[in-house]
């Protein structure tokens, strides 16, 4: 009986290690992303004329020679726009979802109290012009195809350096199949502790990176507060996956995370270079 339990325990450990195993072969393009700090939603201040995910925030990031992290989702008419929340309420003070509105309707709303409007992915790419690397977070509620296809069509015409990340493992799986040479990252956090509404089983699987067997990410972008999470630590130490921290909000936080992460997505301050 005891032997059977031990064997079962060993099998479960092996299955767990196989499930969280990321891509082991290093993507040669990764070196191009190393050595940069990435401005979360651009170099922004939501009380200024350069609010989050605005063209002005991206211009400032380029001027400061920071990489850029941005969010992409689809409008009702399938236009890829750069906007974080699924709902416009926090940013535009209107209780509507981006996916419920055509892009022309979105143009009516300004970002916070600035003169900036929600840009398309194409406008942002034209603004950045390949001057700094970009981390593109795909905001995918569930089925990935429409978002991935629309974003990839714009990115195919872009000559600059970019990689893909998402919380949604099916979006990463789509990119693995269709663009295997593009660097891709699995986003994660402790969803329950963050009090994010949703399925606890789904969030358990995502927190513990149990979709890595399917997505085979090149990097793990993990909330820096949970840097000692078991699956993240195993990916970092055993599998040598590139660890990316989000979102760092002070130089002290950055210094505290240097032993755990190799790249940093920051907000609210300018990191020392």
Question: Interior CA angle at 122 toward 119 and 128, to 5°?
Answer: 85
Has residue 68 been placed in a domain? yes
CA 246 from centre of chain: 9
List the catalytic residues: 40, 84
Task: Note the pLDDT of residue 197.
Answer: 79
Q: Given this model, what pLDDT does residue 212 score?
A: 98
* Predicted pLDDT at 142: 83
Residues of the chain with pLDDT under 50: none
Q: Let me know if residue 165 belongs to a domain.
A: yes
Domain membership of residue 26 (yes or no) is no
pTM strictly above 0.85:
yes
The CATH number given to whatever domain includes residue 244 is 3.20.20.190
164-189 exposure pattern, b = at least 16 Cβ within 10 A, e = fewer: bbbbbbbbbbbbbeeeeebbbbbbbb
Residue 252 resides in a domain: yes
Supply the range of the domain harboring residue 209: 37-45+62-78+130-266
Quote the CA–CA distance of 118 and 127 in Å, as a whole number: 14
**Is 111 a member of any domain?**
no
Q: How much is the pLDDT for 122?
A: 98
pLDDT at 21: 98
Domain count, the chain: 1
């Amino acid at each position: 009986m005891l032997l059977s339990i031990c064997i079962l325990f060993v099998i479960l450990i092996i299955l767990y290690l196989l499930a969280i195993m990321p891509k082991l072969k290093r993507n040669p393009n990764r070196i191009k992303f190393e050595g940069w700090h990435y401005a979360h939603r651009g170099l922004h201040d939501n009380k200024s004329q350069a609010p989050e995910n605005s063209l002005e925030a991206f211009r400032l990031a380029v001027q400061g020679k920071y990489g850029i992290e941005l969010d992409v989702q689809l409008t009702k008419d399938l236009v890829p726009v750069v906007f974080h929340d699924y709902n416009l309420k926090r940013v535009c003070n209107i209780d509507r979802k981006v996916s419920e509105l055509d892009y022309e309707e979105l143009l009516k709303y300004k970002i916070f109290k600035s003169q900036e409007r929600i840009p398309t992915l194409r406008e942002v790419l034209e603004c950045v012009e390949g001057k700094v690397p970009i981390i593109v977070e795909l905001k995918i509620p569930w089925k990935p195809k429409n978002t991935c296809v629309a974003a990839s069509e714009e990115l195919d015409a872009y000559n600059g350096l970019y990689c893909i990340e998402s919380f949604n493992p099916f979006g990463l799986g789509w990119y693995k199949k269709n663009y295997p040479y593009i660097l891709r990252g699995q986003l994660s956090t402790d969803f329950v502790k963050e009090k994010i509404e949703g399925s606890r089983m789904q969030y358990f699987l995502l927190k513990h990176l149990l979709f890595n067997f399917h997505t085979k990410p090149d990097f793990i972008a993990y909330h820096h507060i949970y840097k000692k999470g078991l699956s993240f630590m195993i990916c970092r130490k055993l599998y040598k996956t590139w660890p990316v921290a989000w979102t760092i909000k002070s130089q002290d936080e950055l210094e505290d995370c240097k032993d755990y992460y190799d790249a940093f997505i920051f907000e609210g301050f300018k990191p020392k270079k």
